[in-house]
Amino acid sequence: MKTLENRVAIITGAGRGLGKNDAMVLAREGATLALADIRDSVHNTKQEIEDAGGRASSYVFDLRSTEGIRSFVKNVKEEFGRIDILINNAANVTNIAPITKMDDEKWQLDVDVNLTAVYQLSKEVLPIMKEQNGGRIIGMASVAGTLGGYGQAGYSATKMGTIGLMKTLALEGARYGITANAIVPGIINTELAKEQREVNFQMSERMRKRIAMERFGEPDDISELIAFLVSERAGYITGQAITIAGGLDLFTF
């Protein structure tokens, strides 16, 4: 039997990159997917899953809309009858500037997408999971949160906030069989990373050489861990922030 058979999973930011890869891996393990993104490309992810024999639905909406989130969760529950897994993958990563030059509206965009939406989605699915006596919540953090990132005040702050939120959810959900964990990726070889490498190869190389393993991670490095954490095999792991960075966070001379 597949490890996620009869499980319904919500994944945000599933139109491309890590979110799409998460969806494909969970579908392989038998999960039914409810995919969300602000981009229409999320429909392509749905189609790929169905072409491979899986089951999925796709929704396009803005995570900054509280009503949009409520409607989305309500529709998923009505369509599939349950919600077992929430993977908060969607994020805004385009706001790069020193604090003194950062636009306040762009700061707020980081907060709204990277943290408030995670809070709102978790708030909506938690009662459903409590009724089911079980569930799994994943928050995507970043080494930019745990280590800081020059010119990334909004992104760093919200990613560290995600870790705190997952720990609180872990406490509030523990007696109901609900686990909550944060994933802390380093530099992952997504489409966006490849595009950035083409734009500034020298900077990309400097970043690569800071990693102890001297290579970027691959999407499956993240998605396979998520598939484990949301399965029954990881039922005693909760409130953790797990770093997958190839040693980027280690110090050496």
Q: Is the pLDDT of residue 130 over 70?
A: yes
Q: Tell me if residue 236 is catalytic.
A: no
In this prediction, residues 222-242 reach a mean pLDDT of 98
Residues ≥6 apart with Cβ < 8 Å to 93: 155, 192
Give 11-28 pLDDT, tens digit per residue: 999 999 999 999 999 999
Residues ≥6 apart with Cβ < 8 Å to 146: 159, 160, 163, 184, 241, 243, 249
Domain boundaries, the chain: 8-244
Catalytic residue (choose from 59, 119, 150, 155): 155
CA-based nearest residue to 57, from 70, 73, 78, 76: 76
User: What pTM, to 2 d.p., does this model score?
Assistant: 0.95
In this prediction, residues 208-220 reach a mean pLDDT of 94
Q: Is the pLDDT of residue 240 over 80?
A: yes
One CATH from 3.40.50.300, 3.40.50.800, 3.30.830.10, 3.40.50.720 for 8-244: 3.40.50.720
- Share above pLDDT 90 across residues of the chain, in percent, rounded to a whole number: 87
pLDDT of residue 253: 61
Give 66-84 pLDDT, tens digit per residue: 999 999 999 999 999 999 9
pLDDT of residue 169: 99
In this prediction, residues 161-172 reach a mean pLDDT of 99
